[in-house]
C-alpha cells in the first residue's frame, strides 16, 4: 500500500494520461500483495477468534462420538473423567447393523424391539439397522447384551458388534487436550458444538473467498494510489480546515 501511495505521489512528474496506468499498477500491487502476503494471515482469522473464545470462562464444548463396541468404553470414560476440564460423558444410543429387511421383517422388529428390554428409551428401525436410545445409567454393553441374548434365543445366533453413540462435554479451554486424547486412541469427534465451534463457523461464513479478498486488496491499492495522487491538495485543505476550527474556538 505504501508503494502504491508513493506511485500516486509521482503524478506531478507524469502526463495526465498516465494516471490510468498508475491506478492499474496500484491495483496489481495490492492484489499481488493481498494474495501472497495478507491472505495467509487472513486465513488464520477463525483460529485467532476461536483462541479468544477458548479462554472465556464457563464455556463448554459438546463432542459427539461414534465408537466401536469393541472399545473398552469404561476405560475410555475413566481416562476422560480424569482429564482436567471433563464435565460429563454419556452413552446415548447404539446402532446395530443388520441385513436388508423386507417389509415383513421390518414390521416384526418394529413391534418386538421395544419389548426386549425396558431400558430401551426409544428405538428406530431402518432398512438395514436398528438404533436404540438408552436410558440414563444404562450402558451400551448392557443394551447390546440384552439384544444379543434375545437374538440368539429367536435366531440361534449372536450379535457381537454395534456402533456406540456417546456425548462428551468438556471445558472450552481444554478442548484441544481432549481432542488429542481421543486422537491418540484413534477417535475423532463426528461433530462439535459450543461457543468455540460456533464462533469459528460464523467467522468462516462471514469471510471473503480468496478471490474476493485478493480483489479487495487490489481495491485498497487503488485507494492508496488515489490518496497519493491528491495528497498535495488534501493536506493544504486539511490545514485550512483545522485553522478554521481553531479560529472558531478562540472566538
Q: What is the pTM of this model?
A: 0.70
Calculate the dihedral angle through the C-alpha atoms of 18, 19, 25, 28, rounding to the nearest 10 degrees.
-140
- Model confidence pLDDT, tens digit, residues 58-91: 789 999 999 999 899 999 999 999 999 999 999 9
pLDDT class of 27 with cuts at 50, 70, 90: confident
Q: What is the mean pLDDT of the chain?
A: 84
Strand, helix or coil at 96?
strand
- Model confidence pLDDT, tens digit, residues 174-212: 998 999 999 999 999 999 998 887 888 888 888 888 888
Phi, psi dihedrals of residue 209, rounded to the nearest 5°: -70, 170
* Rounded Cα gap, residues 221 and 1, in angstroms: 6
* Rounded Cα gap, residues 193 and 46, in angstroms: 15
* Count of C-beta atoms within a 10 Å radius of residue 37: 11
Residue from 67, 218, 56, 53 nearest 140 by CA: 67
Phi, psi dihedrals of residue 28, rounded to the nearest 5°: -65, -40
Residue from 241, 248, 228 nearest 13 by CA: 228
Residue from 217, 221, 227 nearest 25 by CA: 221
- Residues 6 or more apart from 28 whose CB is under 8 A from it? 218, 221
Q: What percent of the chain has pLDDT over 90?
A: 47
* Rounded Cα gap, residues 186 and 94, in angstroms: 19
Amino acid at each position: 500500500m505504501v508503494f502504491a501511495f508513493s506511485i500516486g505521489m509521482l503524478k506531478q512528474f507524469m502526463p495526465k494520461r498516465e494516471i490510468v496506468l498508475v491506478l492499474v499498477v496500484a491495483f496489481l500491487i495490492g492484489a499481488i500483495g493481498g494474495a501472497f502476503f495478507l491472505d495467509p494471515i487472513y486465513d488464520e482469522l477463525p483460529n485467532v477468534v476461536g483462541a479468544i473464545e477458548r479462554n472465556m470462562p464457563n464455556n463448554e464444548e459438546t463432542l459427539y462420538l461414534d465408537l466401536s463396541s469393541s472399545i473398552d468404553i469404561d476405560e475410555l470414560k475413566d481416562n476422560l473423567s480424569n482429564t482436567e476440564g471433563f464435565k460429563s460423558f454419556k452413552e446415548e444410543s447404539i446402532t446395530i447393523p443388520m441385513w436388508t429387511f423386507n417389509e415383513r421383517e421390518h414390521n416384526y422388529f418394529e413391534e418386538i424391539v421395544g419389548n426386549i428390554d425396558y431400558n430401551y428409551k426409544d428405538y428406530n428401525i431402518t432398512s438395514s439397522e436398528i438404533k436404540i436410545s438408552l436410558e440414563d445409567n444404562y450402558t451400551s454393553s448392557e443394551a447390546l447384551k440384552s439384544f444379543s441374548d434375545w437374538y440368539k434365543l429367536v435366531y440361534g445366533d449372536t450379535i457381537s458388534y454395534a456402533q456406540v453413540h456417546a456425548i462428551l462435554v468438556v471445558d472450552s479451554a481444554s478442548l484441544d487436550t481432549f481432542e488429542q486424547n481421543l486422537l491418540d486412541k484413534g477417535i475423532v469427534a463426528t461433530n462439535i458444538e459450543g461457543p468455540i465451534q460456533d464462533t469459528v463457523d460464523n467467522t468462516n461464513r462471514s469471510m471473503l473467498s480468496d478471490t474476493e479478498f485478493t480483489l479487495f486488496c487490489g481495491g485498497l491499492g487503488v485507494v492508496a494510489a488515489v490518496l497519493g495522487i491528491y495528497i498535495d491538495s488534501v493536506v493544504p485543505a486539511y490545514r485550512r480546515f483545522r485553522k478554521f476550527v481553531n479560529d472558531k474556538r478562540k472566538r
